[in-house]
Amino acid sequence: MRNRFGLEGKSVLITGAAQHLGFEIAKNLSKEGLRIGIADIQVEKGEQAAEQIRQEGGGEAYFFHVDLKSPESVSVMIDAVYKKFGELHLLVNNAKIDSKPPGEDNEIKHWNDSLQVILSGAYYCSRAVVPQMEEQGGGVILNISSVASEFVTMESVGYHSAKAGIDQMTRYQAKWFGPKGIRVNAISPGFIIKRDHLSRFESDTEWKNRWEWCHPLRKAGNSCDLSNAILFLASDLSRFITGQNLTVDGGMTLSEPGGLVNDYAKTILDKS
């Protein structure tokens, strides 16, 4: 069912969409009839991602090379996007780097890379699209944050700090871009099953049960849950919502970690 949110024919640019969750989001939005722009530093994977979307769904999808650490590269990329699409209705700042804690030998590099790609990259992209969005009468910027912006997880300190910065940048941008007709919101996903983890989730019963138990809804999320939140916040259904952070986590962050551990342990004892 296409165009549930009235976005068919609109254009979207998604950073970090050559693979993993960004690619899944791109495919999901294409199914709604959006024209897809994939921005990534990985040329081969980016081209393959765009081609796969075109082949599978028959929609428009294009790859745009960019180094998010460079404001000059971002500027060139945004110019190419507008040359291709004419207008840009939605920017999704999704890019990140591997977030697992690095070893001591590359800890500082990982810190710098995390802040540059996740936070600075989102800032450069947002800054670059504002003049054109204002000229075309408005637009939407969505920054992908994380529950790790508020809670300490097993991810790296650079990832946590960059995502926390995304939250505050979202509020700042919403205040100053609002008069230009641009809404800015963030989305904080919880545990989202990516396609490349699906086989383990389906085969490893213990791992699956642990993650499902962490959620009051007793299930884990997938890319469609995140994509639907993006579609809602990009549509006129949310026309009066800006500067907010929508948590998409199945209620996982409603319980403190110790309580979750105790609750899960109790279920094991009850079954024994």
What is the three-state SS of 11-48?
Answer: EEEEECCCCHHHHHHHHHHHHCCCEEEEEECCHHHHHH
The two counts, helices (H) then strands (E), for the chain are: 10, 9
Question: Is residue 137 one of the residues assigned to a domain?
Answer: yes
Say if residues 14 and 39 touch (Cβ distance below 8 Å): yes
Cα 21-253-157 angle, rounded to 5 deg: 65
Among candidate residues 62, 159, 172, 264, the one labeled active-site is 159
How many angstroms separate the CA atoms of 202 and 207, rounded? Answer: 9
Residue 203 lies in a domain: no
Is residue 272 one of the residues assigned to a domain?
no
DSSP annotation of 10 reads -
Q: At what angle do helices 20-31 and 43-57 cross, to 10 degrees?
A: 30
Tell which residue, 211, 231, 207, has the closest CA to residue 26: 231
Residue identified by tokens 């409603």 is 254
pLDDT at 270: 59
Q: Is residue 145 part of a domain?
A: yes
Strand 139-144 to 90-93 pairing = parallel
Alpha carbon distance 188, 140 (integer Å): 17
CATH number of the domain residue 167 falls in: 3.40.50.720
Q: Which amino acid is at 165?
A: G
Helix axes 20-31, 223-234, angle to 10 degrees: 60
Q: How many residues does the chain have?
A: 272
What is the chain's pLDDT, residue by residue, as a tens digit (272 residues)? 678 999 999 999 999 999 999 999 999 999 999 999 999 999 999 999 999 999 998 899 999 999 999 999 999 999 999 999 999 999 999 999 876 666 666 788 889 999 999 999 999 999 999 999 999 999 999 999 999 898 887 788 999 999 999 999 999 999 999 999 999 999 999 888 876 666 666 777 776 787 777 788 888 889 999 999 999 999 999 999 999 999 999 998 887 554 555 555 556 555 55
Does residue 264 fall inside a structural domain?
no
The answer to whether residue 169 sits within a structural domain is: yes
Q: Is residue 202 situated within a structural domain?
A: no
Distance CA 165, CA 145 (A): 9
Q: Is 58 left (phi over 0), alpha (psi -120 to 50) or beta?
A: left
Query: Can you give the residue range of the structural domain that contains 180?
Result: 11-196+218-252
**What is the number of domains present in the chain?**
1
33 domain-assigned? yes
Helix (H, G, I), strand (E, B) or coil at 222: strand
159 is annotated as an active-site residue: yes
The one-letter amino acid code at 28 reads N
